[in-house]
Structure 1
Amino acid sequence: MRKYWKFITIIVVIMLSIGTFYVKSATSEENHPEFVIEKQSGDAKEIEPLKLVGYYSDTSSMNYTITDLKISSEGSTYERRSFLDQIIGEPPTVIKEYQENYRTFMRGKGLNINSFFENDQFLAYADVDYTTDSFHSHDFKFPISILNKKDGSVQSFTVDIPDSENTDYAFMEDVQMIEDELYLITNNMIRNPEGSFDEKHLYTIDLANQTIRNDETFSQIPEGQEGNRIVAQVIRTSPTEAYDHMILLQKEIKVIHDSESYREELVKQEVISYNLATKEKESISVSDLPFNSELSFFDGSSVYFIGLEGQEIVVTPYHLADSQAGEEYRLQRSGEDGDGYGPKPMTTIKNGKLYISFPELNPKLNINAADVFVADVKTGDILFKGQITLDDSEAKNQYELYLHEMLVE
């Protein structure tokens, strides 16, 4: 009987702890400040589809808590995480919407947004699965599921990843679907007697026969020369849009060690446009890009390089159709001149509009407002300019606000 009392005592303590957690959360929620997007120019209707997702921290006391919030044209709303979500983390907003709208299909699916593809008819999922023991990883497979949203039918199967004997690790970078074929883009970490390196693979999945029709290594990332390193990334696109091109950015970076620190210097970079259907590659010259410019987004027809020069955001488009760079345009930030460093802006493009938001407010760092832009992506004409500000003059200035997602509905 004594052991049962111990068990009951443990359960009671856990329930009281959870209850205390929710009481404290509910109490603290009443004190959360209101953040707004304050208009400076343009039409406020332009930010009605915009949602910014992040977290707020009150740093005024030892009770350091983090609360999720969303900021929109209507102000800020706070979301209290469940006790379980506090432990395991919360999925991206798009994944949460999939879980709500396609509950049965989403059971057992991972939370990597790059593993999903969606269009009007299908929601597709593919991931990398493998077994790891004390010696190495093996039995690499693709678990694949396709939901037909019109009739509710699901096609699920698993295929072995070919020639993976020397693969240490692999992860999914993008999933695309063109007609009856699925394209899986992965980063594979290879180890052999000559050394280790990364490879970008494109796997073509024949959905009718549930087989891998083609496996192509379109980028192999060798070890850099002494003091240098090479990195490659697939450029971000919208997870709910279909694209027949993939954009890869590869950089060689020189690491320079000083007496008390080190810095990185860009040696060269190459941008590759890859047509998924035709397998054609095109190299894009990026040698004349503005200082501190980075490849930021691909909207299916153009890639956009976005950088900071002082208090200006510099946008340089490159159009795939005619293989030419477009005319750059500049968006003027608020505040005093700076050196262009600090948190990089979040960007996305939808319906011909470029959305830009800076991710951080922190009074301790003298960051008391964050710019928000909506611009015509082709001309750079500003449709809306505003700032995220704290709409409470009596609120304490000991807080941190950090935004990590930008959604346009």
Structure 2
Amino acid sequence: MKRYWKIISVCIVTVMVIGTFYIQSSLATKGNVNVEFEKLSGNEDEVKNVIFYGDYTVGNLFRALQITNKETTNLNNQSLFQQLKRNYTVPVLKTLIEQHRTFMRGKELTPNYFYENGNLVVYANIKAKNFDIEILNKKSEETNSIQLAVPKKGIYSWIEVLDVQVIEGNLKVITRGFRSEGGNDLNGYTINLDEQKLVKDEMIHTAPAVENGWSDIILVNDLNSIGSEKYLLFKTENYEDKQVPTEGEMILDGAPKLVVNEVMVYDIEKNQLKKLVVPDEIRETLGDLSAIFHSTIFIPSQTADHLEVNQYDIEKGKWGKKLSFNLPYNQEDEGAPYIKVMSGKIYIIHSTKNDHTISIRDLKTGVSLYEGKLKVNNTREGQKDIRFHINEIEPVQ
């Protein structure tokens, strides 16, 4: 009997997971949830072409919602397979799967590996240190495959694709390679799509190995974007561990020390790299919320009662006027506002016990485009332990 305990355990867990799924699904259908948009000011068109994803909880009952200004969809009513696929697939790739199911089959669903424009869908990955490339022609539905060796692959222990772009008939694949002896490189490979051959191999930037420490290159761009981009924004950080001798050996003393912290912007089309002079207080806030729109970098930072957005014009090479937005008063038991920078706008959704405010503003000017509330309607009245929050926003494809 003991020899089968692992199989029995897996079966029990599987039954529990599936049982929980169907119990939750059954309960979810008993209470309909509808989210309505109430405009306070601005243009209602601002919420017409946007999809909101949120979580709604009543006690122990959880619902995942997809919300537009027209309808609210309870995603818990989907099949188990659909829910698992939704949980592990970012929204931008769901559309590709729905529209090009055959092309998408068998691919790693990481947005960095994809590029899409009006004519093409491109997938570029690295397997066994060789390029694995497929190009779908949307009009003809034909797929071409390209297999090429990655240059100097022997010096890297691991290589990952960070971005894929198509520029004037050439495919540009930007990778980060981790050198076997330490440190990592940002490389750009240009592949002629007609001739299906590598025409350029360029090192964009290198983060050297650090004795008693490590270095890293951190991409700041929106990793869920698969469209055309002109610039890449990234940081280079080097850390050193402080070591002290004790009883004949070296031990670590305190937290690692940051010795290099640089911000770079890379012009993909021109293959030009520029180091930015960034004030310390701004550099510290450069992270997930930061974004590039056209030729401007936007760097939001949040305090207790307001949101500040610093902006840097890449082409002019200078910092612009800092924008500041007031945030609603936040009680201790209320979650932090959800903030998204997208398409030259900033979306701020703040959940409180009484309502859920939504503010959409122009990033360049700070002008309010839409102010409103999200009202959650539920058929089960008198329920007090209700929680609702938005966790993702995406444009309608």
Q: TM-score range by the shorter chain?
A: 0.7 to 0.9
Structure 1 unaligned segments of length 5 or more: list them: 1-10, 131-139, 257-261
Distance in 1 separating the partners of 2:240 and 2:371 = 37
Could you say which residue in structure 2 is the equivalent of 1:406? 394
1:337 Cα offset (Å) = 9.2
1:241-280 equivalences under 5 Å are 241-251=227-237, 269-280=261-272
Could you say which residue in structure 2 is the equivalent of 1:100? 98
The range that moved more, 179-188 or 48-57, is: 48-57
1:286 Cα offset (Å) = 1.2
The range that moved more, 227-236 or 207-216, is: 227-236
1:323-342 equivalences under 5 Å are 323-336=317-330
CA deviation vs aligned residue, 1:314-348 (integer Å, no higher than 9, x gap): 1222222222222221222112599xx95762221
Could you say which residue in structure 2 is the equivalent of 1:49? 49
SS at match of 1:105: helix
1:395 Cα offset (Å) = 3.3
| Aligned residue pairs, count | 368
Say whether 1:293 aligns with 2:285. Answer: yes
Could you say which residue in structure 2 is the equivalent of 1:134? none
1:2-401 equivalences under 5 Å are 21-22=21-22, 24-31=24-31, 33-58=33-58, 60-61=59-60, 66-74=62-70, 76-80=72-76, 81-85=78-82, 89-130=87-128, 140-192=129-181, 196-223=182-209, 230-236=216-222, 239-251=225-237, 269-287=261-279, 290=282, 293-294=285-286, 296-336=290-330, 345-349=339-343, 353-358=344-349, 371-388=357-374, 390-391=376-377, 394-399=382-387, 401=389
CA deviation vs aligned residue, 1:280-325 (integer Å, no higher than 9, x gap): 2222221165586325111232111111133222122222222222
SS at match of 2:307: strand
Distance in 2 separating the partners of 1:286 and 1:16 = 52
Distance in 2 separating the partners of 1:273 and 1:35 = 40
Could you say which residue in structure 1 is the equivalent of 2:248? none
Q: Decide whether aligned partners of structure 1 residues 57 and 190 sit closer, same or farther in structure 2, where only a CA change above 3 A counts.
A: farther
- Preserved contact between residue 173 and residue 234 of structure 1 (Cα < 8 Å): no
Distance in 2 separating the partners of 1:270 and 1:368 = 43
Distance in 1 separating the partners of 2:134 and 2:267 = 24
SS at match of 1:395: coil
SS at match of 2:108: coil
Distance in 1 separating the partners of 2:219 and 2:236 = 7
CA deviation vs aligned residue, 1:252-276 (integer Å, no higher than 9, x gap): 57999xxxxx989977643222222
Give the TM-score normalised by structure 2.
Answer: 0.78
Q: Decide whether aligned partners of structure 1 residues 82 and 129 sit closer, same or farther in structure 2, where only a CA change above 3 A counts.
A: farther
Distance in 2 separating the partners of 1:237 and 1:21 = 31
Give the TM-score normalised by structure 1.
Answer: 0.76
- Preserved contact between residue 305 and residue 317 of structure 1 (Cα < 8 Å): yes
SS at match of 1:306: strand
Distance in 2 separating the partners of 1:92 and 1:18 = 23
1:126 Cα offset (Å) = 0.8
The range that moved more, 105-114 or 219-228, is: 219-228
1:25 Cα offset (Å) = 0.5
1:92 Cα offset (Å) = 1.5
SS at match of 1:286: coil
CA deviation vs aligned residue, 1:338-389 (integer Å, no higher than 9, x gap): 9xx957622212xxx403234x85xxxx776555332223211011123445
SS at match of 1:94: helix
Q: Which amino acid letter does the alignment assign opposite residue 169 of structure 1?
A: W
SS at match of 1:109: coil
Q: Which amino acid letter does the alignment assign opposite residue 231 of structure 2?
A: H
1:86 Cα offset (Å) = 5.0
Structure 2 unaligned segments of length 5 or more: list them: 1-10, 243-253
- Preserved contact between residue 215 and residue 238 of structure 2 (Cα < 8 Å): yes
Q: Which amino acid letter does the alignment assign opposite residue 298 of structure 1?
A: I
1:197 Cα offset (Å) = 2.2
- Preserved contact between residue 346 and residue 362 of structure 2 (Cα < 8 Å): no
Distance in 2 separating the partners of 1:191 and 1:176 = 27
Q: C-alpha root-mean-square deviation of aligned residues, in Å?
A: 3.7
Could you say which residue in structure 2 is the equivalent of 1:4? none
The range that moved more, 111-120 or 222-231, is: 222-231
1:53 Cα offset (Å) = 2.0
- Preserved contact between residue 57 and residue 67 of structure 1 (Cα < 8 Å): yes
- Preserved contact between residue 292 and residue 309 of structure 1 (Cα < 8 Å): no
